[in-house]
């Protein structure tokens, strides 16, 4: 099974400006992400960016970079242009690795690509891990997903779901989740076929996508299917704030 990895990266982060260029134990974050992604065994790993500094940094460290337009509303739209720049065949599988995940698990990347290859009825695949803490279920920054019996996404939401009516009727902070809840946290790792990536920017933004601020809902609202790989591996925390950056610096600074 062959696949490609494209890492969308932009410098304009409101909470952590110039995030891809942030130093992590002697290397820029984007370089750490590339080196981890390369372990997944893809045919190629590229960074798609609209920032000349990121482009130059990637190339200076031996990576492959693509300059894309600066008007893309999302990373998915940026990937669509990258597919054209690379002249990829419509059936080629592309895995979108986020540019702020230097600890991304290579095996999870392969599993997302393999699931899509094995799911001809889906245009995308993604991943999810079990929700084990009540505070995660109720945290709007943690996206939840529910699936049908065949493992396809029914809905993504920032709201707690599924809602265990009786067990959660008198929810209080710190309560223990009922063992029968079977809640799943969405992991923001996506695989697409290049042909669908090219089609995605032409799909109108959906109402649910806008109110939840979740671009994957556009896919469901237009009637397409998303296959979900369920893994026991917990989702990695994001790097969105200076405190998050210090945490990841501490991780890489530890002796191996």
* Residues 29, 25: Cα–Cα separation, whole Å: 9
Single out the residue of 98, 118, 107, 122 nearest to residue 187, CA to CA. 98
Altogether, the residues listed in the chain come to a count of: 256
Residue where the block lists tokens 């959660």:
168
Tally of CB atoms within 10 A around 137:
23
- Quote the CA–CA distance of 217 and 72 in Å, as a whole number: 18
Domain regions of the chain by residue span: 3-234
User: What is the residue whose two structure tokens read 């933004």?
Assistant: 205
pLDDT digits (tens, 9 = 90+) for 18-55: 999 999 999 999 999 999 999 999 999 999 999 999 99
How high is the pLDDT of residue 133?
Answer: 83
Peptide bond just before 148 cis, omega within 30 deg: no
| Token digits of residue 41 | 């065994």
> Around Cβ 154, how many Cβ atoms within 10 Å?
13
How many CA atoms are closer than 13 Å to the CA of 118, on its beta-carbon side? 12
3-state helix, strand, coil in the chain (%, to 5): 35, 20, 45
CATH superfamily for 3-234 is: Spore Coat Polysaccharide Biosynthesis Protein SpsA; Chain A (3.90.550.10)
Per residue in 153-184, pLDDT (tens digit) is 999 999 999 887 776 666 554 566 666 677 89
Rounded distance between C-alpha atoms, residue 37 and residue 42, angstroms:
8
DSSP secondary-structure letter at 169? T
pLDDT in tens, the chain (256 residues): 899 999 999 877 767 889 999 999 999 999 999 999 999 999 999 999 999 999 999 999 999 999 999 888 888 889 999 999 999 999 999 999 999 999 999 999 999 999 999 999 999 999 999 988 888 888 998 999 999 999 999 999 999 998 877 766 665 545 666 666 778 999 999 999 999 999 999 999 999 999 999 999 999 999 999 999 999 988 887 788 889 999 999 988 876 5
Determine the pLDDT at residue 173. Answer: 46
Identify the pLDDT of residue 241: 87
Which has the closest alpha carbon to 206: 160, 161, 155, 159? 155
């Amino acid at each position: 099974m062959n696949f490609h990895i494209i890492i969308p990266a932009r410098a304009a982060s409101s909470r952590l400006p110039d995030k891809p260029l942030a130093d992590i134990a002697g290397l820029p974050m984007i370089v750490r992400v590339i080196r981890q992604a390369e372990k997944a065994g893809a045919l190629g790993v590229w960074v798609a960016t609209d920032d000349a500094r990121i482009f130059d940094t990637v190339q200076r460290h031996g990576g492959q970079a693509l300059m894309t337009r600066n008007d893309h509303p999302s990373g998915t739209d940026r990937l669509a242009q990258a597919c054209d720049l690379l002249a990829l065949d419509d059936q080629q599988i592309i895995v979108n690795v986020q540019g702020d995940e230097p600890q991304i698990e290579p095996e999870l990347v392969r599993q997302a690509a393999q699931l899509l290859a094995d799911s001809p009825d889906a245009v995308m695949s993604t991943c999810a891990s079990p929700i084990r803490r009540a505070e995660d279920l109720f945290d709007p920054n943690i996206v939840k997903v529910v699936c049908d019996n065949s493992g396809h996404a029914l809905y993504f939401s920032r709201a707690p779901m599924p809602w265990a009516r009786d067990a959660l009727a008198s929810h209080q902070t710190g309560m223990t989740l009922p063992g029968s809840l079977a809640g799943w946290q969405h992991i923001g790792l996506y695989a697409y076929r290049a042909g669908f990536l090219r089609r995605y920017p032409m799909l109108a933004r959906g109402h649910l996508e806008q109110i939840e601020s979740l671009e994957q809902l556009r896919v469901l609202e237009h009637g397409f299917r998303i296959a979900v790989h369920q893994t026991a591996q917990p989702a990695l925390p994001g790097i969105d704030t200076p405190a998050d950056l210090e945490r990841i610096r501490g991780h890489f600074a530890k002796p191996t």
